Amino acid sequence: DRLLKESSVGPDFQGCGTIDFRPGSHRDETRVDAVCTYSKEPSAAPLDRVGLYHQVSNKTRGITQLGPYSLDKDSLYVNG
């Protein structure tokens, strides 16, 4: 949650929830699917999906690491 609270959607960020846990390609890996939500005023500018993607990428070493966790660099999808 902190990652998105400190991003451009921070003031409108509501939280993240885990959707699914799946086995990874290696025995010691687990894949986690999560969805994060935000809400904004109808009159606010639309979500800058590309900008938010780059913010998250910059804070996760190119979408490879989040704290002690390894990330699949091709797994981030920003929909708005």
pTM comes to 0.82
pLDDT class of 1 with cuts at 50, 70, 90:
confident
Alpha-carbon span 7 to 51, nearest angstrom: 10
Q: Read off the DSSP letter of residue 58.
A: H
Tell me how long the chain is: 80
Q: Structural domains in the chain? A: 2-70 (3.30.70.960)
pLDDT at 40 over 90: no
**CA 6 to mean position of chain CA atoms:** 12
Q: Average pLDDT of the chain? A: 92
Phi-psi region of 56 (alpha: psi -120 to 50; beta: other; left: phi over 0): alpha
pLDDT over 80 at 61, yes or no: yes
> Is pLDDT of 13 > 80?
yes
Whether the Cβ atoms of residue 34 and residue 20 lie closer than 8 Å to each other: no
In tens, the pLDDT along 27-39 reads: 888 999 999 999 9
Q: How many alpha carbons lie under 13 Å from residue 72 in its C-beta half-sphere?
A: 12
pLDDT over 90 (residue 49)? yes
